[in-house]
Amino acid sequence: MASAARDATIVAIGDSTTSGAPAFESPVEAPPDGRGNIESQYAYWLMRAYPDWRVWNRGVNGERADQIRARFERDVLAARPDAVVVIAGVNDVYQGRGAADVARELEVMYGIARGAAIPVVAGTIIPFDTATPDQNARMRAVNEWIRDYTAQAAGAVFCDTRSAVASLNDPDRLASSPDGLHPSVDGYRLMAGALGPAIERALRLIMGKGWRLR
C-alpha cells in the first residue's frame, strides 16, 4: 500500500493540457518516452516536487472527454495506479458540446476508477484566451458539476486547476501562455502545485482502513 508521501504511481489522463502542448508530446503521442520540452507538462513538475512518485503522462492533444473515456481501461485500469488525475472537457466545449455531455463522460470515468478502488483527482477545465462568453459559461458549468460531484462521492478529490493557471486580472484567461490555448512551462508548474496536495489527499484514501463507495 502506497503512502501519501512515498512510493506511489499516478496516472494523469486527459487532453493537451495533460500531454503538455504546445511544447511536449506525451508518451502516448510519441512513444516510448514522449518528445519535446519535458518541463512543459505537469507530470514533470509533480515528480520534481515528489521524487518518489511515478506520474505517467497519458494525455492526448485534441481529445474530447468521450475519446479519453474510450481509452480509460487501457491507460488507467491496466496500469493499476494508486491514483488517477482526470482533466477533460475543454475540447468538447471548443467543439460546441454541452456541459451535460461532458459531465456524463466524466461521471463514467470517475465511476470506473472508483469501482476499481482507484482514487480520483478531478481537475477542472482550464481557460483558453479565445473562449467566448458561452464557452466560458459551459466550462464554469462543468467545473461546478465537478466540485459538486467530489463533495458527495467517496474516493474523489476536487482540484481547481483552472484557478491555478488563470490570470489574476481575468479568471477566464491564462496567466501565462505561448499560444493562448495552453499553459506556459510556468503554468504547468502551477498546475502541479495545485495537484500535488490533492493527490496527497487521494493517496490517504487508500491508507489505513481505506474507503468504500457510497
Amino acid at 201: R
- What's the domain range around 87? 8-204
Residue 96: Cβ within 10 Å count: 10
Residue 210 pLDDT: 52
- CATH value at residue 39: 3.40.50.1110
Establish if 1 belongs to a structural domain: no
1 against 68, higher pLDDT: 68
Please report which confidence band the pLDDT of residue 213 belongs to, taking 50, 70 and 90 as the band edges: very low
Domain total for the chain?
Answer: 1
Task: Report the alpha-carbon angle 143-43-35, nearest 5.
Answer: 115
* Residues 143 and 124: beta-carbon distance below 8 Å: yes
* Residues 157 and 150: beta-carbon distance below 8 Å: yes
The DSSP code sequence of 41-106 is SHHHHHHHH-TTEEEEEEE-TT--HHHHHHTHHHHTGGG--SEEEEE--HHHHHTT--HHHHHHHH
Residue 101 pLDDT: 97
Report whether pLDDT(206) > 90: no
Establish if 209 belongs to a structural domain: no
Q: Give the up-direction half-sphere exposure of residue 6: CA atoms within 13 A in the CB hemisphere.
A: 0
pLDDT tens by residue, 57-89:
999 999 999 999 999 999 999 999 999 999 999
User: Residues 6 or more apart from 104 whose CB is under 8 A from it?
Assistant: none
Report whether pLDDT(204) > 70: yes
Establish if 3 belongs to a structural domain: no
Cα separation of the two ends of the chain: 22
Establish if 125 belongs to a structural domain: yes
Establish if 108 belongs to a structural domain: yes
Residue 126 pLDDT: 98
